[in-house]
Amino acid sequence: MSRPLDIQAIRGEFPILSRQVNGKPLIYFDNAASAQKPNAVLDAMSDQGRTAYANVHRGIHTLANETTEAYEAAREKIRGFINAGSTNEIVFTKGGTEAINLVAYGLAGEIEPGDEIVLSVMEHHSNIVAWHFLRERHGAVLKWVDVDETGALDMAALEAALTPKTKLVAITHMSNVLGTVTDAREIVRLAHAAGAEVLFDGCQAGVHLDVDVQAIECDYYVLTAHKIYGPTGIGALYGKAAALARLRPFQGGGEMIEVVEKDRVTYNEAPHKFEAGTPPILQAIGFGAALDWLGQFDKADVLAHEQALYERAYEAVRGVNGLTVHGTAPGKGPVLSFSIDGVHPHDVAQILDRYGVAVRAGHHCAQPLMTHLGVSATARASFGLYNTLDEVDGFIEALHKARGMLI
């Protein structure tokens, strides 16, 4: 049975939410960049380090066995979170960026000049630059798919971009700027029909959507913990077993091998062949604890709450003269990106901070999207499980004050 969504009780589990900033109660609306951490996550990492820490795998003694069990239990929690078929399909990484780079490096040996990688203009730089490496070093061709005036992905353009030369479609599942949710299942259907694999950047979608990689049938799916109320320095790559078996190892060292001799080396099986060296053990355990904590709540209830926060903010700003909301696609996530005519978003964010309101301002590591939108940057308020309607009202009040100062 799911835990009731008592927001005030939930807020009490996040120590940082009780602090003040510039003499005002903190209103933290920068969740799309990184979410805050509940006691359950902080305590899981601290308790493991205090009572049962050792290096994982291959150890014989009690502490090594206990730590390995906790570490591998976190892998199973990630498997369940996205409904992967096996823990062997879950690779621990430093985060979403490393997961995407792992795939790019692993596929590089298969890329020939003229082979195509299809991206959308919404992509985070993490899901762009790694593919530029293949363009620069192996002659890959990057093909770009636009979004419409609401920020929805142009599916007809996506289908038109697919050719027999397309090797991979790398697309966000939820835009970090627009909040747009892409039709993952249809993207996979189109790509697979063209003979291409699909990678989804799920770093935003993971915290807001009910992700089922088997239902989507994607080849790769990328997660990062710190946006899902977990620690930094840990993420995960899901890959179909056959896809991971094809990828060459990303790094060399301990754990990712079976035999090392002077004149040869044989590699371990996935996922371990991609996990060279001592891993971020406590961070992985914290990742698992975050998924346990979030898993207490009904996902539909959480999404409805987050959408109510977004709708409250959107309705308050959409009629403001000179203010443009970027991203209004149906079914979008709880992200409000906006710009004010003649005002730099950094100035907006700086004044909001005086009132204790934390928002992000800049290009959000999405410069191709900024070019498409015709702006250099936006301000972004992004909402999480612990935020309240009263905080939205406080943000709107502070925003009107900032606008009055700047216009």
Active site members: 365
- The rounded distance, in Å, linking the Cα atoms of 61 and 54 is 9
3-state secondary structure of 266: strand
Query: Which helix or strand (DSSP H or E) is residue 349 part of?
Result: helix 345-354
Nearest to 114 by CA among 76, 142, 92, 75: 142
- The rounded distance, in Å, linking the Cα atoms of 68 and 275 is 14
Is residue 79 within 8 Å of 89, Cβ to Cβ? yes
Query: Which helix or strand (DSSP H or E) is residue 358 part of?
Result: strand 357-358
- The rounded distance, in Å, linking the Cα atoms of 164 and 18 is 55
Is residue 174 within 8 Å of 122, Cβ to Cβ? no
Residues 6+ apart with CB under 8 A from 199: 100, 103, 127, 168, 169, 170, 171, 218, 219, 220, 221, 222
- The rounded distance, in Å, linking the Cα atoms of 248 and 244 is 8
Query: Which helix or strand (DSSP H or E) is residue 341 part of?
Result: none
Take residue 183 and report the two structure tokens written for it.
């039709």
- The rounded distance, in Å, linking the Cα atoms of 158 and 306 is 29
3-state secondary structure of 198: strand
